[in-house]
Amino acid sequence: MGPRLPIIGFAAAMAAIPFIPGMPPFWIVLLDNIGLAALVAMGLVLLTGVGGLTSFGQAAFCGFGAYTTAVLTTAYGFSPWLTLPLALLVSGLAAVALGLVTVRLSGHYLPLGTLAWGLGLFYLFSKLEFLGRNDGISGIPPLAIGSFRMIDPAAIYFAIWTAVLLCAVLTINLLDSRTGRAIRALRRGHVAAEAFGVRTPRAKLLVFIYAAVLAGLSGWLYAHFQRAANPTPFGAQAGIEYLFIAVVGGAGYVWGSVLGAAIVVILKEILQSYLPYLFHGEGQLETIVFGILLVALLQLAPTGVWPWLTARMPLKPNRGRPDASPALPPRTRTPAASDVLLQIDRARKQFGGVIAVNDVSFDIQAREIVALIGPNGAGKSTTFNLITGVLRTNGGTISVLGMKIDNAAPQEVAKLGIARTFQHVKLVPDMTVLENVAIGAHLRGKAGALASMFRLDRADEAKLLAEAARQIARVGLSGQIDALAGGLSLGQQRIVEIARALCVDPLLLLLDEPAAGLRHLEKQQLANLLRELRGGGMSVLLVEHDMGFVMDLADRIVVLDFGTKIAEGTPQAIKTNPDVIRAYLGAAA
Amino acid sequence: MNAAPGTLLQVSDAHIAYGKVEAVRGVSLEVAENEIVTIIGANGAGKTTLLNAIMGVLPVSGRVSFASQDMTRLEIEDRVAAGLSLVPEHRELFGAMGVEDNLRLGAFRIAKTVAATSLERVYTLFPRLKERRRQLAATLSGGEQQMLAMGRALMGAPKLLMLDEPSLGLAPIIVADIFRTIGELRQSGVSVLLVEQNAQAALQIADRAYVMELGEFILNGPAKEVAADPRVAASYLGFA
């Protein structure tokens, strides 16, 4: 298949390198170091580049992997292979402990937090008696298969690069899946992701653990490569360098980590070996030149060298069309006791002294389109956020089919069949329309991270993508299905949000200014779509300023002004209501 | 292609591309002094892209001249100083700064004495902003934010004000206010280039109009004639 071919080619080339006659052993050592660094940087690609969680502390997780095998093989005589799962487990558990604290931090505090424990763990490693304090642990046995002992750098080379390639494929698989989309939404669209059932704290912890396990694997390999472990390579300095590698290669790209590792390791080596000749051994000069070169490189390729390179290649991504045949099961609709789908009873929200929503009550029946109108700042979007659990109420109740839902988490509200769009579009700009819309079907899939990594999720994934493609066709955006969401016009992005909401198979659709930025013909198409959805049993609550659109479409209108409901009724009644004309419609209506 | 007397902005054969995708393909456009010109068109037609390119936010191939001066190589801030100003689609206010500080930033390239009169003018145009001069921009309602974005652009005493979807997301009563203000601007000698989905309101206020589809102008002329064109009537105005 297309996308696999370059990877197989790369693997074959890497496998052939040690057999090139006259290949200097020193180069093989260099390649070993590149592979080890690439593994750590690959974790950072997921954590930082994709997930948006900057970590300076990844080197410490290498330490957990390295010291685990060092202690177990030297003090307890474990076989190196037996320590591999244990090393990964220890790094993973360390990540759970540190991650539970760290991922709660936001903004500048998160990278500072990682720097703090990166520094702290270095001193811990160098003070603990059983880890050999500053001297570390030596005499670690080499990896061995039968009588083949991987002492030679050219022997462990295969172990290292098998690990790199395997992890790259697993990581790419993970990113291209239900879980992967949730991870990719973390950085720029977590509010929207939560509205479609993604448990973002869990997803953050997952990438944190994943990155740590990759670092632990690198550490385990490093220990058996060097046959020794001491604290220096696991300190904060190394942690900063790994982040650097990921950024130079392209922090958002899996192969960027391998390229970045190659660039940084080789550049450092060249400078260290040749600069002293040029400048007669003036110390530390290479560090300065290294810094200058890297700054220059980032000027040339600000998002990293990998995307800079691929943009110059003629290859176009070959996007497969999702298989249209399998369908997701529709939501099971339990016959409701009453026809009232959503009931808002004296809902109240205060921001400091400002009452944004002041004891507002209204209902939405099954198969009904209700419009919420009012001047800007009247509390319409706040009402949406109260219904969907983005904000907590200060009073009153909100119920769905007779069940209280006020202050339920957004994920729980989504499960009940309430899907929404946002006033300020919240799509992941560097994901395609198809991928963005598929996030809407998150709760209807079940494949987890492990299944995705080993491609056991394909049946589940095909259904999700087919559902997404169906909803995209329904809103009339099939022509843009593979376009990056960030490249669409604002009006189209709003329509993408509607398709994403439809993927929930909702009972109630909440639309925040869906017609804004659409021209007349597109508005008519949207109105027809909403009528069709109502015909199919769905209810719609919409905030909209286009009165022609609203009056034509809505069964009932609720008017808010300064957080208070000032009128409710049919479009005809609202149009002539003097309070509404004064507060909102003006003389024009 | 010499500009007719009174031509303020002249764009000739503009091509604008995002990577390999060409979003605007060879369009030419003129705005005269004291004129309101509107560009209407479907979503993704390239209207916002064109405005951004005229402002210098996006690179453009082709010629952009303003007040008989070639703009093509000028940086954004120099275009502002030359009298060109854009109110972007997302308004892009400085939310953590007060209303008056936002306005004063709009006069960054203007002499202090001129800025003082600009401020008075903006407050006369938008009395609501004066009431809220100490309030943080982020805490304003949507309509007030649009007024502030327009006010900030007017602080630099522009000759041409470009507005990208000024009525987006605003209550009808506010929209009427915004359009009334646009009319007043012309009387005070400011030309307006207006991109707007509310085609009906835009064609009512404009002198001339361009209709954009898939990166090209398919129609242009006096606003009344454009409004009467059957294609426009059907897909933008809603009466055939």
DSSP string, B74-125: --HHHHHHHTEEEE-TT----TTSBHHHHHHHHTTTS-HHHHHHHHHHHHHH
- CB within 8 Å of chain B, chain A residues 494-513: 513
**Nearest residue on chain A to B214, judged by CA atoms?**
A489
Mean of all residue pLDDT scores within chain A: 90
Is B235 within 8 Å of A520 when comparing Cβ atoms? yes
Tell me how close the Cα of A516 comes to any Cα of chain B, in angstroms: 6
Residue by residue, DSSP assigns A298-329 as: HHH-TT-HHHHHHTTSS----PPPPPSS--PP
Would an 8 Å CB–CB cutoff place A307 in contact with chain B?
Answer: no
Least Cα distance to A565 among A389, A383, A368 occurs for: A383
Give ranges for CATH 3.40.50.300 in chain A: 340-585
- CB within 8 Å of chain A, chain B residues 68-87: none
Is A516 within 8 Å of B141 when comparing Cβ atoms? no
How far is Cα A359 from Cα A348, in angstroms, rounded to an integer?
5
pLDDT of residue A315: 61
Q: pLDDT of A512-526, one tens digit each? A: 999 887 888 888 989
pLDDT of residue A327: 76
Calculate mean pLDDT across residues A192-202. 93
Tell me how close the Cα of B118 comes to any Cα of chain A, in angstroms: 27
Q: Which amino acid is at A472?
A: I
Is B171 within 8 Å of A491 when comparing Cβ atoms? no
ipTM of this complex prediction, to 2 decimal places: 0.73
Residue B240 confidence class, pLDDT cut points 50, 70, 90? very low
Q: B1-83+161-166+193-240 architecture in CATH? A: 3-Layer(aba) Sandwich (3.40)
Is A516 within 8 Å of B168 when comparing Cβ atoms? yes
Contacts of A518 in chain B (CB under 8 A): 43, 197
- CB within 8 Å of chain B, chain A residues 415-474: 423
Mean of all residue pLDDT scores within chain B: 90
Torsional sign, CA A168, A169, A170, A174: positive
Calculate mean pLDDT across residues A12-36. 93
Q: pLDDT of B47-66, one tens digit each? A: 999 999 999 999 999 999 99
Q: Tokens for A19, please give them.
A: 């057999």
Tell me how close the Cα of A266 comes to any Cα of chain B, in angstroms: 32
Is A516 within 8 Å of B43 when comparing Cβ atoms? no
**Nearest residue on chain B to A379, judged by CA atoms?**
B141
The answer to whether residue A169 scores a pLDDT higher than 80 is yes
Pairing of strands A395-400, A340-351: antiparallel
Least Cα distance to A522 among B232, B213, B235, B167 occurs for: B235
A–B CB contacts, 8 A cutoff, strictly below: 90
Tell me how close the Cα of A588 comes to any Cα of chain B, in angstroms: 8
Q: In the beta sheet, which residues pair with residue B47?
A: none
What contacts B17, CB < 8 A, 6 or more positions away? Answer: B23
pLDDT of residue B1: 44
Q: pLDDT of B68-111, one tens digit each? A: 899 988 999 999 989 999 999 888 999 999 999 999 999 888 88
B-interface mutation test, from A492, A545, A582, most B Cβ less than 10 A away: A545
How far is Cα B132 from Cα B154, in angstroms, rounded to an integer?
18
Q: Which amino acid is at B113?
A: T
Q: Tokens for A166, please give them.
A: 């395997």
Residue A335 confidence class, pLDDT cut points 50, 70, 90? low
Is A520 within 8 Å of B141 when comparing Cβ atoms? no
How far is Cα A182 from Cα A171, in angstroms, rounded to an integer?
14
The answer to whether residue A235 scores a pLDDT higher than 50 is yes
Out of B19, B40, B165, the one facing A517 most closely (by C-beta) is B165
pTM for the whole structure: 0.85
Phi/psi of residue A245, nearest 5 degrees: -60, -45
Would an 8 Å CB–CB cutoff place B173 in contact with chain A?
Answer: yes
**Domain A34-307, CATH class in plain words:** mainly alpha
Would an 8 Å CB–CB cutoff place A377 in contact with chain B?
Answer: yes
Largest CA distance in chain B: 53
pLDDT of residue A323: 65
Tell me how close the Cα of A285 comes to any Cα of chain B, in angstroms: 38
Would an 8 Å CB–CB cutoff place A516 in contact with chain B?
Answer: yes
Residue B202 confidence class, pLDDT cut points 50, 70, 90? very high
Would an 8 Å CB–CB cutoff place A375 in contact with chain B?
Answer: yes
Pairing of strands A137-138, A228-229: antiparallel
Q: pLDDT of A280-307, one tens digit each? A: 766 677 778 888 888 888 888 888 999 9
pLDDT of residue A1: 41
Give ranges for CATH 1.10.3470 in chain A: 34-307
Pairing of strands B36-41, B208-213: parallel
How far is Cα A502 from Cα A532, in angstroms, rounded to an integer?
13
pLDDT of residue A291: 85
Out of A423, A489, A547, the one facing B48 most closely (by C-beta) is A489
> Taking the CA of residue A378 as centre, how many other CA atoms within 13 Å lie in the half-sphere pointing to its CB?
24
User: What does the domain layout of chain B look like in residue ranges?
Assistant: 1-83+161-166+193-240
The answer to whether residue A322 scores a pLDDT higher than 80 is no
Tell me how close the Cα of B6 comes to any Cα of chain A, in angstroms: 32
pLDDT of residue A294: 83
When mean pLDDT is compared across A182-196, A288-302, A427-441, B96-110, the lowest value belongs to A288-302
Calculate mean pLDDT across residues A36-62. 95
Calculate mean pLDDT across residues A58-67. 96
Torsional sign, CA A471, A475, A479, A483: negative
Would an 8 Å CB–CB cutoff place A376 in contact with chain B?
Answer: yes
Contacts of A517 in chain B (CB under 8 A): 43, 165, 168, 197
pLDDT of residue A111: 92
- List the CATH code of the domain at A340-585: 3.40.50.300
**Beta carbons of B102 and B139 less than 8 angstroms apart:** no
Q: pLDDT of A70-110, one tens digit each? A: 999 999 999 999 999 999 999 999 999 999 988 888 788 99
Contacts of A377 in chain B (CB under 8 A): 140-144
When mean pLDDT is compared across A159-163, A425-429, B139-143, the lowest value belongs to B139-143
**Nearest residue on chain A to B196, judged by CA atoms?**
A517
Q: pLDDT of A529-542, one tens digit each? A: 999 999 988 999 99
Q: How far is CA A529 from CA A263, A540, B195, in A?
A: 53, 11, 27
Out of B89, B140, B199, the one facing A519 most closely (by C-beta) is B199
**Beta carbons of A361 and A387 less than 8 angstroms apart:** no
If you search the block for the tokens 């949507």, which residue do you land on?
B142
Calculate mean pLDDT across residues A483-494. 88
